Structure 1
Amino acid sequence: MAPPSKKPRKELPEHLIHQLLLPRLPFKCLRRLMCTSTNLHSLINADAQFAADQARCATISRSSFVYMSKSGLSFFPDPSLVGVPDPSLNFLNPTPSSEIKLICSTNGILLLYGEFRGLKSLCVCNPATQEKAFVPDKNMTKDYGRWEMGLCYDPWESPDRYTIVNPIFHCKGDGKDYHFDVFSSDTGEWTLSSWSVYVDTEYVPCKPICAKGVIYWECGIYLLWYDTRKDLAGSITLPLMDGLTNFGVCANDLTCCHTCAGGIEVWRLIGGSCWEGCMG
């Protein structure tokens, strides 16, 4: 019997590998691939277009802690790990000696407030690709609510689309009635959502966190949320924990953790309404 003929192996197109597959790999994998060939080393280490594609395909495994220092934008542990060519943000043309405030960051893009080109403005930017957009702020004369603005951005689904949500409250009895100003990059305009949420606490929202298209704010024993995809809003009660609670995102799920005498208590939000807890 004649041996079976071997079918020729089909190679993936180079543009598919370079533009769609490699930019989505974690940094450690890319470091290993750099050692396999001169072409891959040049692509990963020195190709500007590859760096831009990688920035647009940000994943949780390549996320980094970002904060504002006296010298400008800073990263932990190393700005080179997230491909930021100029952490000074000079590409935004900030007014000399003016202060730039970091409001929040989501999946590699930043929401800033400062004076740019001589005008005070909100700014959404990607420090890796140096893309920027200045956002009109209809509440520019009012400081309340601005520092609690949430930013929603998903580079996997819509790399050119983002949403900003500003929770505005009015005191009502012993609590607060929240409404939501929403800015969409699709329209370039702010609109007031029809949803309102009453929370019976005097606490004001803390820094926002975004997960799966939903922006969350801690309000005392409650978690205020706004779904940017469905234009829905509401609140849920936080799990009972004594002391300081820290919020974050793990595997695209909202988490809150707390240190206690028995170790670390970690809770994960399941399905947007149920808390799953464990002790570590």
Structure 2
Amino acid sequence: MESKIEEEIIIQEILPRLPIKSLFRFKLVCKKWLDLITHDPLFLAHHSHKGHNRSKSTNITSPSYFSYKSELFFSSDDFYQFKWCKPTFLTGVMDDVMGSTKGLIYGVCSRYRKIFICNPITKHTVYVPNPEKQLILALAWDPYIPSSGFTIVNPIFLREENDGTHNVDVFQFRVYSSKIGEWRDSENATAFRVPRRCLQFRMCQAVYTGRKKVYWSLMRHILWFDIEKDVAGLVECPNHGNFVHPDEDGSFTEIGECDGAVTYNWMTRNGNVEIWLLIEKDNEFEWAKKHTVRLQKIIEENWHVVSEICNGLNIKKRKNAAVALAKRHHVKPLPHSGGELVWFLIKTLNDFHKIFSFNLRTRELKLINEDGAIEPPLYPFMPTLLHCPS
């Protein structure tokens, strides 16, 4: 007896559960599948929804990471670990990607006169004018409500003041809505007691949580802006003095998004990775510690994975390896996006970087990029087949 799977089951139940990498191959099956996987909006939304639920329900995998300088995607399960073909407008340009939100990357091009939003999987790209030629941006969009379009938020420095005790930087936010098709100024400027250079970083990392707020990492503080209410504020990070300061060139970011909340992590001087959640309710914020990952114990248990790198750095004993790496700034935790995996980079003797994942459940340390080195920054990234919103 022969059995045949109905086409409806294949299209609605099987294909949406396949990884991006497999779907690219299945485009070649027939013209109908090609059109479906490439253009059908219902299928694209269904696939992204299934993929999201798979990671959330199993809670085993976490989103991949995207290195635009190395043009690579990294995943612990090899579902979508592959080379990215740069769009032609970024050919030869290395520093124009500003960040990643919900499967889209964004940045500036054409001598900073335009902002681009690109799905690196589908190559679909939209452009927004950048009249102020600004480099500090945040992209907000909800892939489950494509009709809502997207919003770009840009904090602009206005002036420096002194209140008699502290220097105060005054900022105004500019907001672009794709539904309106133009920029607008926020109703009120907000003063922040932070060093002026904080918002002048070339790679000031932004995060969108899906709750009408965008956040920027300012080393010891997190700046937030409410898109609907035009309200902004500043949250002090839960540092207690016993941490390794992040690189001031912005090559590494510390904030991510997990189930609608901002995550913040850093490396302590004794070699621990602390991961915190920013709990928010009615513009009131509270930090809650999510994980403490003891890197020293991880290295001792998985010495065979890192011994070659440590020996190259003249770190011969596994007992003090984590502290030595932390003090030399050779190890950096990556933004945490949920799941059971914690990711971090280790810089080798030649200033190359290797990316590792650690499974909190199995306690397995895994070297992700065995074949070569990567170049930071890396952004959390969950591939999607949805086109960029308009």
TM over 0.5: yes
**Match in the other structure for 1:194:** 187
**Match in the other structure for 1:110:** 105
The 1:257–1:151 alpha-carbon spacing in structure 2 relative to 1, beyond 3 Å, is same
**Match in the other structure for 1:182:** 175
C-alpha distance in 1 between matches for 2:18 and 2:223: 32
8 Å CA contact 1:99–1:115 kept in 2: the answer is no
Q: Secondary structure at the match of 1:239?
A: coil
**Match in the other structure for 1:275:** 287
C-alpha distance in 2 between matches for 1:136 and 1:239: 37
C-alpha distance in 1 between matches for 2:15 and 2:289: 35
C-alpha distance in 2 between matches for 1:89 and 1:191: 31
8 Å CA contact 1:44–1:50 kept in 2: the answer is no
C-alpha distance in 2 between matches for 1:235 and 1:156: 29
Offset, 1:152:
0.9
Q: Secondary structure at the match of 2:135?
A: helix
Task: Report how many residues are paired.
Answer: 245
8 Å CA contact 2:209–2:261 kept in 1: the answer is yes
Question: Which of 89, 93, 97 lines up with 1:94 in the alignment?
Answer: 89
Gaps of 5+ in 2: 1-5, 56-61, 247-253, 294-390
The answer as to 2:251 corresponding to 1:263 is no
**Match in the other structure for 2:313:** none
User: What residue identity is the alignment partner of 1:275?
Assistant: W
* Deviations, residues 240-263 of structure 1 (Å, cap 9, x unaligned): 243236222223321111222273
Q: How does 1:9-88 map to 2 (within 5 A)?
A: 14=8, 18=11, 23=16, 25=17, 27=19, 42=26, 47-48=33-34, 49-50=36-37, 53=44, 57=49, 59=52, 61=55, 63-69=63-69, 73-77=71-75, 81-82=79-80, 87-88=84-85
Q: Secondary structure at the match of 1:271?
A: strand
C-alpha distance in 2 between matches for 1:76 and 1:185: 31
RMSD of aligned residue pairs (Cα, Å): 3.8
The 1:51–1:230 alpha-carbon spacing in structure 2 relative to 1, beyond 3 Å, is farther
* Deviations, residues 143-188 of structure 1 (Å, cap 9, x unaligned): xxx3321111210133661111111123222121121111111111
The 1:44–1:167 alpha-carbon spacing in structure 2 relative to 1, beyond 3 Å, is farther
Q: Secondary structure at the match of 2:189?
A: strand
Q: Secondary structure at the match of 2:273?
A: strand
The answer as to 2:132 corresponding to 1:157 is no
**Match in the other structure for 2:259:** 251
**Match in the other structure for 2:323:** none
- After TM superposition, the score normalised by the length of structure 2 is 0.53
Structure with bigger strand share is 1
The worse-fitting range, judged by mean Cα deviation, of 131-140 and 259-268 is 259-268
Q: Secondary structure at the match of 2:37?
A: helix
- After TM superposition, the score normalised by the length of structure 1 is 0.71
C-alpha distance in 2 between matches for 1:228 and 1:45: 44
The 1:229–1:127 alpha-carbon spacing in structure 2 relative to 1, beyond 3 Å, is farther
C-alpha distance in 1 between matches for 2:29 and 2:175: 39
**Match in the other structure for 2:221:** 222
**Match in the other structure for 1:4:** none
Q: Secondary structure at the match of 2:187?
A: strand
8 Å CA contact 2:101–2:139 kept in 1: the answer is yes
> Percent identity at matched positions?
23
Offset, 1:125:
1.6
C-alpha distance in 1 between matches for 2:287 and 2:48: 31
* Deviations, residues 6-63 of structure 1 (Å, cap 9, x unaligned): xxxxxx9938x8469963x5849x98xx9xxxxxx95899844336616755739473
**Match in the other structure for 1:6:** none
The answer to which structure, 1 or 2, has the higher relative contact order (CA under 8 A, 6+ apart) is 2
Offset, 1:82:
4.6
8 Å CA contact 2:173–2:186 kept in 1: the answer is yes
